[in-house]
Structure 1
Amino acid sequence: MEQVDLLGSEGKDASKVSEFYEALLDGRFDDDDDAADYFFDADRNHSSYQKLKSRTKSTLLNHVFFLNENNSDFSNRQRAYFRCYRYWAASKILWGLYGRQIGSNIAEKVLKQAKFFDFSDIVMDVAKNLRITYGTREGNQKRFDEYNQLYKKYHQINYYEDLAEEYYTELSMGLVKEKGIDRERHLKAKAYYAELEEVMQKYDAYRLHLSGNLIRIIAHTSVNDYENTIRICEEAITFFEKKKYAAHLPLQVFYYQLIVCHTQLKQYNAGKKAAEKCLDLLEEGSFNWFKYQELYFILSTHTQNYQQAYRVFLNTVNHRQYDKLPANMKEIWNIFEAFLQALYHLEKVKEEDGNDHLSKFRYGRFINATPHLNRDKRGMNIPILVAQILTLIIHRKYTRAIERIEAIEKYCSRYLTKDDTYRSNCFIKMLLQIPANNFHRVAVERKTAKYLKKLRSVPLDMAKQTHEIEIIPYEELWTMVISSLDTSFRSGKSRKERSFAGRKSRAASS
């Protein structure tokens, strides 16, 4: 056999490939020109450098077939997925090299695994090839009929699985940018599920039930029907838990939706139970583990379990993998910290275990701690703005709060004018009335009464907004803020007012 190029192989070229690979891992090169200059004293277009790149890519591709699927991080279904595709590729290559008998033996072993783990596309492809082998090569009628029937069955299953994925993908595309009540999406999802319902009862195929149930969920979440969404999630979880293999992905998906629903309905105990079950499915410190911590935090704040939210925060930011998260994910926890420090100063949270994140919180540092999410003007910039105003009010930064009024009013008029930001628009206007009325509780309550009425007219579970926007439900946050005010007038002047007063004073003395 010819030698297969792998990292660590002998030879001058192989050594250079290994060196290139290690340098890429270490981040030693800024770009192709930098790498080409190091190896060949040339630019990126030099033929020798292009050959090195090509051979490195080919070598790394060879390593894909030596993947250790027994890695403990993989579920049994993931391990079977890698094994089936590698052996199926080997079988087809052997058929092409006239090793048809051994290729067929391998294919039949792949088929057994693929059927058990619901890899219907592999079953269909293997059955199609085996019916040709037994029909044209061996003339075995019994085996031909067996694989022909199997092919037809799985061809139909694949058709409906692909159709379900197509429908779910189509419905999901709009959800990336627009969330909230959507009657048109609701009706379309209902129609798509009606088309799939009968075949879902006929076949227990993995992809069919994953996409089919997600379509059912969209039909209900698009009209904020959380009760029925919970029912569907529980049915889907029961279905996948009955599988003889570990169906981690769909279980994570449906538990996630379940927690969102319990959060919206303020069902803390049920939400906590779902969160804990799902966290058992996740590798601690993984990307998805951190995403679930975000949801667990929101669940805790929405159900007034503020001390638990603080513990989730500590568990997350003190994790050894936290610093490796993408910047935008860490910024979310910076926002959470700002709300926690507000709760701390409102005496709703106590620091624990010697941690002093909240007592040492600095407003100026927070202002510069969310550069990526600041750009999301109709999304996560809203809680950033709320946290900023809230901090200034709680810390009695009267002058700075007044200085922010004009800029924030312009922001509201520009970005918070649609239905999906209605509650945020009302609440921010309420907060702005605090410095505008000199922090006097009675005056503030009088001036904000109309906005509070508007806010209550669109409850959180009916609002056209994503669940991430309100870190703490506005009604509850408003009650806490109002209780922190007193009946004394607090004067504060903006820089413009102070400058005008200074000029007036100097003019009077001259």
Structure 2
Amino acid sequence: MDELTTLVKIVTDRRLAVLPFLDFSARNAASKDLQLVRLLEEDPNTTQNKIVKSLYGATDARSQTTFRKLKSRVQQKLLNHLYFLDHTDVRHVVSRRHEQQCLGLLHQARILLGEGEYKLAERLFRKSLKVATDAELTQYAVMCVRMLRILYAETRNAARFKAMNKQLEELQQTLSLEDEAEQLFFEIKVFSQQKVRWRQFILKQLPSSLERLEQLHKKAKTYNTFYFLYVTKMSREELTGNYAEIIRLTAATEKARKQGKVNEMRFDKRFNNYMSVYAHLQCRQAKKGLKLAEEYFKDFHYSSGNWFYYLEIYLLLAMHASQYGQAYELLQQARKNPYYRKQRPAAQQRWELYEAYIQLVQPEQSPVKMRHFAQLVQTVPDYSRDKQGYNVAILILQFLYFLRRRDIEGLLARLDGLRKYEQRHLRNPATLRSQLFFRMLLLTVKENFVARQCEQKAAPLLEKLRVAPQPGEAYGEIEIVPYEDLWAFTLTILHRLEEEQRANEQASRDYVG
């Protein structure tokens, strides 16, 4: 009871007169704070003027000034609620709950230490240290041991002070190894996300980086060094296009996790599942990958950015498996997600591009949809650094759109864009698939859109395309629809255009006759 009595005294003596929180249980409260939160809940896209009008009945200068004060106060209260979020949902990062528990205990213990309550503070520091040790959160373990060392110095406990000194020295050595591994890992990561030439540069540096990461992991033997090594291995295979090895790596790591060889308090199986599904897409195992994508999707919480990234791969698998109806349903699911606008503009533009492809291969005969599709295709830029990895897809989409419309002027303009892009960006042997498909599209113009001639002349190129390996991320452009399927679609367009031309000629002869 002594400890409880101590806490009662501290809290009752030092508590704030007005708690800086929102009372969400008061559904019908007249509080402007809660009213503002409810308005934003109901319509996240509402404007400031609408909210001011709803709260104060006017939008004059006085109302705006009052609203700015309200907005600042509510924001601070919402920030205070971040200390009490629910981290138990298994669809979130598993390590987060242990990290938050560790930080919470540290925070409480430091306050008690400042109040001179050494006994209770020691208990909480040790509890936090236990969580940090079990979850292999080395940086927090260092913080806990440092605080315990201070506590034992203040209480003149020489034996425990000495023990903390020894433990701190060991932890700092481990943390130093982890810091070096982390530095290597993030250098690789940041350059891997840059332009293609930077990806190719980092690819050359990977062997020495991996060797050093292996050495660091052998010394530290912690989850952090394991993770940095593991993800870097996956990056190497992804950059080189060795997706079969990624499937093997993810399967082996999942097996190790089930055997207790990987710390389950830290390992994010969702990342492993994502990489496995992505590798199945790149290995042209679309049907198998689609089944896995359906199975794993439940593990992602709709509020996380990873949910959208995963759904993109899920949608692409549906496209590669020719399940265009399912792909459209997944697209709609993304659009209906209340966190859709949280994505970066480039990510939102990718969803527009996916929709355009779905509309291209399986058009919905709605005038509104057709008009939106036409506007989208014509406004997407031919080439953009923001769309790294999607430029070929954009050029192909525009070419097929103008081909289907038999818009010769627009087609020739895109033809010039295709040639220039191929000359500038598709000279590397690793971009063979895009090179081959570009040549097949160019044939349609050269052969004057005659389907039979195009099919015959492109047959050798199509055979090469079928056996060409998928490019790695260091070189590759995304195939939203496999090139083999797009060529079949192109021939269908050409046959349809010939039929329409014959029908028009027959109608003209009948009219003259």
Q: Report the TM-score when normalising by structure 2.
A: 0.73
Match in the other structure for 1:471: 480
2:282–2:470 contact (8 Å) kept in structure 1? yes
What does 1:90-105 align with in structure 2 at a 5 Å threshold?
A: 90-105=108-123
Aligned to 2:299, the other structure's residue is in SS state: coil
- Distance in 2 between the 1:466 and 1:280 partners? 29
Match in the other structure for 1:224: 241
Match in the other structure for 1:306: 322
Amino acid at match of 1:418: H
CA spacing shift, 1:478–1:69, aligned 2, 3 Å: closer
Question: Is it true that 1:6 corresponds to 2:21 in the alignment?
Answer: yes
Aligned to 1:306, the other structure's residue is in SS state: coil
Amino acid at match of 2:396: V
Match in the other structure for 1:233: 250
Match in the other structure for 1:321: 336
1:183–1:223 contact (8 Å) kept in structure 2? no
1:190–1:216 contact (8 Å) kept in structure 2? no
Amino acid at match of 2:272: F
> Is 79-88 or 333-342 further displaced after alignment?
333-342
Match in the other structure for 2:12: none
Deviation at 1:151, TM superposition (A): 2.3
Aligned to 2:109, the other structure's residue is in SS state: helix
- Distance in 1 between the 2:278 and 2:90 partners? 30
- Distance in 2 between the 1:260 and 1:291 partners? 10
Aligned to 1:283, the other structure's residue is in SS state: coil
CA spacing shift, 1:158–1:40, aligned 2, 3 Å: farther
Deviation at 1:156, TM superposition (A): 2.6
Question: Is it true that 1:260 corresponds to 2:278 in the alignment?
Answer: yes
Amino acid at match of 1:314: E
Larger RCO (CA within 8 A; separation ≥ 6): 2
CA spacing shift, 1:102–1:482, aligned 2, 3 Å: same
- Distance in 2 between the 1:62 and 1:203 partners? 37
> Is 182-191 or 15-24 further displaced after alignment?
15-24
Measured against aligned partners, the alpha-carbon deviations of 1:285-319 in whole angstroms (never above 9, x if no partner) come to 754334223213323444xx213x53243244257
Measured against aligned partners, the alpha-carbon deviations of 1:51-97 in whole angstroms (never above 9, x if no partner) come to 76665554344333343445676566432322221221121122123
Question: Is it true that 1:427 corresponds to 2:433 in the alignment?
Answer: no
> Is 324-333 or 81-90 further displaced after alignment?
324-333
CA spacing shift, 1:37–1:318, aligned 2, 3 Å: closer
* Aligned-residue identity in percent: 23
Match in the other structure for 2:169: 152
- Distance in 1 between the 2:462 and 2:90 partners? 53
> Is 474-483 or 315-324 further displaced after alignment?
315-324
What does 1:267-416 align with in structure 2 at a 5 Å threshold?
A: 267-268=285-286, 271-272=289-290, 274-276=292-294, 278-283=296-301, 287-302=305-320, 305-307=321-323, 310-318=325-333, 321-322=336-337, 325-326=340-341, 329=347, 331-340=349-358, 343-344=361-362, 358=364, 360=366, 362-369=369-376, 374=381, 377=384, 379-391=389-401, 393=403, 397-398=405-406, 400=407, 402-416=408-422
1:84–1:110 contact (8 Å) kept in structure 2? yes
What does 1:23-34 align with in structure 2 at a 5 Å threshold?
A: 27-29=46-48
> Is 124-133 or 309-318 further displaced after alignment?
309-318
1:374–1:380 contact (8 Å) kept in structure 2? no
> Is 145-154 or 1-10 further displaced after alignment?
1-10
Match in the other structure for 1:481: 490
CA spacing shift, 1:454–1:156, aligned 2, 3 Å: same
> Is 475-484 or 154-163 further displaced after alignment?
475-484
CA spacing shift, 1:194–1:16, aligned 2, 3 Å: same
> Pairwise CA RMSD of aligned residues?
4.4
CA spacing shift, 1:64–1:266, aligned 2, 3 Å: closer
1:300–1:306 contact (8 Å) kept in structure 2? yes
Q: 2:191 aligns with which of 174, 187, 193?
A: 174
Amino acid at match of 2:80: N
CA spacing shift, 1:405–1:433, aligned 2, 3 Å: farther
Question: Is it true that 1:164 corresponds to 2:181 in the alignment?
Answer: yes
- Count residues with an aligned counterpart: 465
Deviation at 1:256, TM superposition (A): 2.3
Match in the other structure for 2:7: none
CA spacing shift, 1:443–1:244, aligned 2, 3 Å: closer
